[in-house]
């Protein structure tokens, strides 16, 4: 391998060494909203995590993630701006964190995913109430 090839391989390997890619899927906890004079769509998703506790029983835990999509990303923004509570989405983007002071007086970290891909996996479906009886069909007289 020549010296040039070695340098190219090293630079390519280092190119993605610190890549920040985040992929999540979950259900919206409320309708998406436009912020920043309509330049961004903002929404929050909930994901479920299942794990076994010390007794070997399956436990569930919800995690919540804030997502922002720029209107510069036309395909992702077109999907994101119309999302409704309960929609199941897949997102891909970059996580960004910032330090915040809580109302209790301590420091915390807020993480937001800046999504560049948003896919509506499944729209919320209306639940049918099983307790309702179908209307009686009128009998001919």
Q: Express each pLDDT in 14-31 by its tens digit.
A: 665 667 899 999 999 999
- pTM for the predicted model, two decimal places: 0.70
pLDDT greater at residue 138 or residue 2: 2
Q: What's the chain's length in residues?
A: 141
pLDDT at 1 over 90: no
37-42 long-range contacts, Cβ below 8 Å, gap at least 24? 38/71, 39/70, 39/71, 40/68, 40/69, 40/70, 40/71, 41/68, 41/69, 41/71, 41/77, 41/80, 41/81, 41/83, 42/66, 42/67, 42/68, 42/69
Q: Has residue 140 got a pLDDT over 70?
A: no
Q: Kindly state the average pLDDT of the residues 65-77.
A: 96
Instruction: Work out the pLDDT band at 121, boundaries 50, 70, 90.
Output: very high
CA–CA dist 69, 114 (Å, integer)? 6
CA separation for the pair 31, 81 (Å, rounded): 9
Tell me: the pLDDT tens digits for 91-111?
A: 999 999 999 898 999 999 989
């Amino acid at each position: 391998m020549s010296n040039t090839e070695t340098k190219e391989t090293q630079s390519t390997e280092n190119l993605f060494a610190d890549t920040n890619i985040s992929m999540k899927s979950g259900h919206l906890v409320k309708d998406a909203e436009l912020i920043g004079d309509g330049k961004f769509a903002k929404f929050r998703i909930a994901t479920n995590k299942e794990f076994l506790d010390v007794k070997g029983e399956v436990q569930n835990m919800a995690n919540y993630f804030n997502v922002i999509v720029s209107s510069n990303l036309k395909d992702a923004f077109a999907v994101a701006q119309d999302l409704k509570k309960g929609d199941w989405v897949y997102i891909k983007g970059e996580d960004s964190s910032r330090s915040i002071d809580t109302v209790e007086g301590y420091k915390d970290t807020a993480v937001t995913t800046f999504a560049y891909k948003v896919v509506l996996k499944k729209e919320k479906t209306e639940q049918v109430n099983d307790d309702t009886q179908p209307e009686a069909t009128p009998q001919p007289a």
